[in-house]
Structure 1
Amino acid sequence: MDLGLKGKVAVITGPAKGMGAAISRGFAAEGCRLALLGRDAEPIVALKDELAAAGTEAIVVACDVTSYADCEAAAEAAQTAFGHVDILVNVAGGTGTIGVHGVETTPEQFEQTVRLNTNGCFHTIRAVLPGMMARRYGKIVNVGGTFGMRGRAGRLAYSASKWGLRGLTKSFALEAGPHNINVNYVAPGMVDGPRFRDKVCRDMAERLGVSPEEAAEIHASDYALHRISTDVDIANACLFLASDVSRQITGVDLPVDGGWAAL
């Protein structure tokens, strides 16, 4: 299916690995021009070179999303390179403390997680939105998480930051809608990859006395579809919401988790 994204300019934060890299490759495959933003630009250069070898026009911009000045400069760099910005995909984020109850979470830990996961998206949206409003066109996709839809004991800071991102998404959707700009939220569940296999499955395996492979199957059994999401599943959701195929969808939470958060 042609999503009509050829030639569109997409700004993607956190593109160096995992979901961010898969999302960047997905937009490149659709013919987008890319501005790849990350705090450490060096690891992103390899991805940029890979995409350039396949014909994608891309730039790498060093940007700490917790700094509004960095985000404003990055938006200006994208506009200078490509003339405008059509799409923003906010992937950059952090897990925060894991297995730590709220009363044990320090104010510094809480603030650090919210600053990255919520404030960071506010900064990037605020930086690109005026240009989108002037052109009366834009697609913004915020990548959150299902723990921002159901909450999670031991993940208070992360959950709070993603709940905040949902509110930010819906408010911006209402404000930007009259300017023909869609703002949506993708909520990955557990995503298959090194962290899932080497951390989540191994911890569960040790706790239950099973193999890591059996632990993965047990984990998947919590989902209606009995399978774990992949990076490509998340990328496909972002592509859908960044295209005009979804032109009448804004302010939504889209869980990509095999049926856990919404069922």
Structure 2
Amino acid sequence: MNLQLNGKVVVITGPAKGMGRAVSLAFAAEGARLVLAGRDTAAIEPVAEEVRALGAEALVVKCDMAQASQTQALAAAALAEFGQVDVLVNVAGGSGPIGKTGWETTQEEFDEIVQLNMTGSFNTMRAVVPGMIERRSGKIVNVGGTFGMRGRAGRMAYSASKWGLRGITKSFALEVGEFGINVNCVAPGMVDGPRFRDKVCANMASKLGISPEEAATRHAADYALKRVSLDSDIANACLFLASDVSRQITGVDLPVDGGWALL
């Protein structure tokens, strides 16, 4: 299937590793022109080189998404380089405290994850939407999480931030739909990688006195498909929602979790 993303200008936040890297390479393989944004440009540059090796263009922009002035500068840099922004994919975010109850979570921990997972996406959306409205076209994909659909003991702050991102997504979708702009949310479950192995599995292993490998197996057992998602699964969902194949879909949460959120 031709997703018709060739030549599209795609802003991706949090592209340095994990899902962000996978999303960046997936769009590059489709021929998109990429604007890769994050606080650590040195960490992003290797991904930009991978993108260029695939024959795609890549602009790296230093940006703290929690700062509105920097997201406005990000949008301006994209316009100066490529003339427009067709797609925004908000991958940047964090996991927050793991294994802490709500009453054990500090205000500082709560505020930090809300800034990362909600304010950052809000700021980037505000920055690119006016141009999309002017052209009456655009796609926004926010990467949320299934803990923002069901809640999770020991992950209150993270869960709250992802619930909030869902509200931002749905409200924007209702507001900009008349201008031909789709706004959706991809909701990954556990995604295999360093964060899952070194934080989530390590926490479970410590509590239950089992190995991290056994912890990973236990997590997989919770899902209908009995496997943990890969970065590429999330990237493929982002491609779908960024393309006109999904032109009649907006304001939705798309779980990519092997069937956990439905259980």
TM-score (norm 1): 0.96
Note the C-alpha offset of 1:212: 3.5
Q: CA deviation at 1:116?
A: 1.4
- Corresponding residue for residue 250 of structure 1: 250
Q: Give ranges in structure 2 of 5+ residues lacking alignment.
A: none
Does 2:131 correspond to 1:120?
A: no
Q: CA deviation at 1:173?
A: 0.2
Aligned equivalents of 2:99 and 2:204: distance in 1? Answer: 13
Counterpart-to-counterpart distance in 2, 1:148 and 1:250: 18
Q: In the aligned structure 2, how far is the partner of 1:57 from the partner of 1:37?
A: 14
Equivalences for residues 33-182 of structure 1 within 5 A? 33-182=33-182
SS in structure 1 of the partner of residue 59 of structure 2: strand
* Distance (whole Å) between structure 2 residues aligned to residue 210 and residue 157 of structure 1: 26
Instruction: Give the structure 2 partner of residue 223 of structure 1.
Output: 223
| Contact kept? 2:99, 2:203, Cα under 8 Å | no
Q: How high is the sequence identity, in percent, across the aligned residues? A: 70
- For 2:250, give the aligned amino acid: T
Inter-CA distance 203–119: structure 2 relative to 1 (3 Å threshold): closer
Distance across 1 between alignment mates of 2:205 and 2:68: 42
Q: Which amino acid aligns with 1:76?
A: A
Deviation, 1:195, is 2.5
- Equivalent positions of 1:27-38 (< 5 A) are 27-38=27-38
Is the 2:224–2:259 contact (alpha carbons within 8 Å) kept by the matching residues of 1?
yes
Compared CA separation, residues 211 and 100, structure 1 to 2 (3 A): closer
- Give the deviation of 1:154 after TM superposition: 1.6
SS, match of residue 103 in structure 2: helix
Whether the aligned pair in 1 keeps the contact of 2:98 and 2:203 (CA below 8 Å) is no
Q: Which region of structure 1 is more displaced relative to structure 2, 91-100 or 2-11?
A: 91-100
Structure 1 position 261 matched with structure 2 position 261:
yes
| 1:209 positional shift | 4.7
What stretches of structure 1 of length at least 5 have no aligned partner?
none
**Counterpart Cα distance in 1 of 2:196 and 2:255:** 18
Tell whether 2:212 aligns with 1:212. yes
CA distance in 1 between counterparts of 2:229 and 2:59 reads: 29
CA distance in 2, matches of 1:98, 1:209: 17
Contact 2:220–2:227 (CA under 8 A) maintained in structure 1: yes
- 1:7 aligned counterpart, secondary structure: coil
Contact conserved, 2:14 with 2:92, CA < 8 A, in 1? yes
Aligned residues: CA RMSD: 1.3
Task: For 1:186 and 1:40, locate their aligned partners in 2 and report how far apart those are by CA, in whole Å.
Answer: 24
- SS in structure 2 of the partner of residue 102 of structure 1: coil
Provide the C-alpha distance between the structure 2 equivalents of 1:235 and 1:226, rounded to a whole number of angstroms: 20
Contact 2:36-2:60 at 8 Å conserved across structures: yes
**Alpha-carbon deviation of 1:240?**
0.3
| In structure 2, distance between residues paired with 1:25 and 1:260 | 27
Query: Quick one: distance in 1 between partners of 2:211 and 2:9?
Result: 45
Cα distance in structure 2, aligned partners of 1:98 and 1:67: 25
